Structure 1
């Protein structure tokens, strides 16, 4: 009878240049004493993939270095990172406050899921530190903001909110997905927790679903680690492996996409049929001064613009943008186009969307690295089609 046994990894003195992909769920130990040492932190290694695996450790270490911290946790998605941070800080009876232009699913978490767990949640204009102060309660435990909001591209009053949170003993959580460490390091501005949807610009190729979160305080960092393990917010080794590969070209991709975004914003501002352009690098942006203060020249790859406020115009624009991916995502190596009213913010009522400046004619562009001539020609054609349908 043939018996198939597990064999050890081939021994050698060489080291692989590329990071190996390690999909194993289970890791063997030499003895009960050795397993105790692993669980008690007296030895380094892995036991069970839900509690950590090599590919997550390698990716996490790279993002830690980018953000200037040591205790980051890789999660299965960006929303897993958001949820982890909030649940590590708040319990039933507490209150959390968020910016009113957060990512659509973050807003859904605030409006539906946190209250179901007994955590009161409300939102406020994060560009106005005075409004944030007025919205705080004695039971407020955390404030969640994005440096650059989605999809309005408004700039949070980060420094003032950080001072306010510190004075009140409230944790400040900063979602750095849009801006990334290439543009800003929120820990240097007083953030207590920083998080990312690694799915987006960091991984950069629309083939990964991952998140990352880190806390400045070591006690909170350990609480987040234990909670992530307990709730099973584990990332896929394969996704971690792909994301790590993406990080090697991150700076190059970000810089090229940012250059293209500046050019696209300027072009759209001069294009007949475009009603509004929002880009933090333009002087007509409502938060241009704060963008310069916080981000300097790093104004990102995201552009939001409006055409005629009708579904007919929106449909015509998308259909005419041949060769451009229409998708509810951002951060791909190529340019993608999204329509917040039918994607990221579809769960909100039309009235709630309009209060955030989102109409039927609002589009968000994640600008990619293609030659700008291709991008410019595509948007000129698409806006012309929308103008004819409006």
Structure 2
């Protein structure tokens, strides 16, 4: 069909240019045209690199994916997904089958925990939740049908540090896949493949993109066949990412190292300041000597203790409400990794599905908060927290 001027509706190509764009162009096209059926066959067979349909891949996803591949020293090109939970789902649903058994760390992100305890059992996949720092307990949980171990290097939200070296040796001995969610730690602090992980997961939504305007995930496997299987599953399940989100994520990742280092430095200072305040029962930060896993964290993270701080107020839900109201300028929001500091209350957000008794057993009382430290002036941030704690607890 021709338009009013007699030319075809779709142009043949972009205008030619002797120069190139400095910023990666946004490729919003859902479909890509090939010259011949033979050429299309060659693309699907892998003899030619090219794009066909955006669910199967697009330039902006590849730009972001290759950047994370380099950061993680991934043996294979990872897959960018529509969210962090899409990446988790790709592993749990794309690899396991009815009759399998999966072991998970007992303090996973709330939705990962929900998938492990509710959705997988509904599909006939049994699960066990075990302390990732207790190798004896992990060994005891292994069954003949166990397929994988899923952990977070540093857990959400109590910042428990996994014994990754011990788990890697155990998984290899038992013939299991070791899957590591590296969202909290990021490749700046920890590279799971270098510690024996078989699969690495990220929520790009958080620190890597870093501006609370992107929802993306990433997954890569050490084994090429497994990596291909994950890619095929994400395509089939429609877990493909938005080109615009990928374009935004790339922009955010350009400043990632600077953002990480600044936020981490401030987090260490805030943790020490919180520990000095009346009304604060405890502070959890892997960089502090009083953290129960400090020695392990130092070895695992090489002194990069990240930007997450958790603490517990001396009080109940009323005190928690008073604290968030008094924390002037801080966002109370169920997220992390933003340029601004955010507060999260697990009892009312990420772990609300657990009973109060189970949350207490995991160390999450009504006065427990997780802080994602941002880029504010450290002195100003400490003052805001001190005033909010004083107001909420009356100290």
Aligned residues of 1:89 and 1:142 also touching (Cα < 8 A): no
Q: Check if 1:319 corresponds to 2:333.
A: no
Secondary structure, in 3 states, of the residue corresponding to 2:268? helix
Aligned twin of 2:239: 233
Q: Check if 1:6 corresponds to 2:10.
A: yes
Provide the rounded CA distance (Å) in 2 between the counterparts of 1:98 and 1:334.
31
Aligned residues of 2:315 and 2:393 also touching (Cα < 8 A): no
Alignment of 1:167-178 (within 5 A): 167-178=173-184
Q: Check if 1:164 corresponds to 2:166.
A: no
Task: Give the one of 57, 60, 71 matched to 1:55.
Answer: 60
Aligned residues of 1:308 and 1:386 also touching (Cα < 8 A): no
Aligned twin of 1:271: 277
Task: Report Cα offsets for 1:295-348 as digits up to 9, x if no partner.
Answer: 121000000000023111000000000110110000001111110111111111
Aligned twin of 1:386: 392
Provide the rounded CA distance (Å) in 1 between the counterparts of 2:360 and 2:341.
26
Alignment of 1:204-223 (within 5 A): 204-223=210-229
Secondary structure, in 3 states, of the residue corresponding to 1:275? strand
Provide the rounded CA distance (Å) in 2 between the counterparts of 1:343 and 1:374.
27
Aligned residues of 1:157 and 1:290 also touching (Cα < 8 A): yes
Provide the rounded CA distance (Å) in 1 between the counterparts of 2:102 and 2:95.
9
Aligned residues of 2:210 and 2:338 also touching (Cα < 8 A): yes
Structural RMSD (CA): 1.0
Q: Check if 1:200 corresponds to 2:202.
A: no
Secondary structure, in 3 states, of the residue corresponding to 2:394? helix
Secondary structure, in 3 states, of the residue corresponding to 1:173? strand
Aligned twin of 2:142: 136
Task: Report Cα offsets for 1:46-69 as digits up to 9, x if no partner.
Answer: 000000000000100000000001
Q: Check if 1:36 corresponds to 2:38.
A: no
Q: Which runs of 5+ in 1 are unaligned?
A: none
Task: Report Cα offsets for 1:132-171 as digits up to 9, x if no partner.
Answer: 1111111000100000000000100110011000000000
Task: Give the one of 347, 353, 361 matched to 1:355.
Answer: 361
For residue 87 of structure 1, report the CA deviation from its aligned partner: 2.1
Aligned twin of 2:311: 305
Secondary structure, in 3 states, of the residue corresponding to 1:277? strand
Provide the rounded CA distance (Å) in 2 between the counterparts of 1:33 and 1:12.
29
> With structure 1 as the length reference, what TM-score do the two structures score?
0.98
Q: Check if 1:27 corresponds to 2:32.
A: yes
Provide the rounded CA distance (Å) in 2 between the counterparts of 1:61 and 1:258.
25
> With structure 2 as the length reference, what TM-score do the two structures score?
0.97
Provide the rounded CA distance (Å) in 1 between the counterparts of 2:95 and 2:9.
46
Secondary structure, in 3 states, of the residue corresponding to 1:150? coil
Number of aligned residues: 389
Provide the rounded CA distance (Å) in 2 between the counterparts of 1:351 and 1:336.
26
Aligned residues of 1:88 and 1:220 also touching (Cα < 8 A): no
Secondary structure, in 3 states, of the residue corresponding to 1:195? strand
Q: Check if 1:367 corresponds to 2:373.
A: yes
Task: Report Cα offsets for 1:35-87 as digits up to 9, x if no partner.
Answer: 11111111111000000000000100000000001320000000010111122
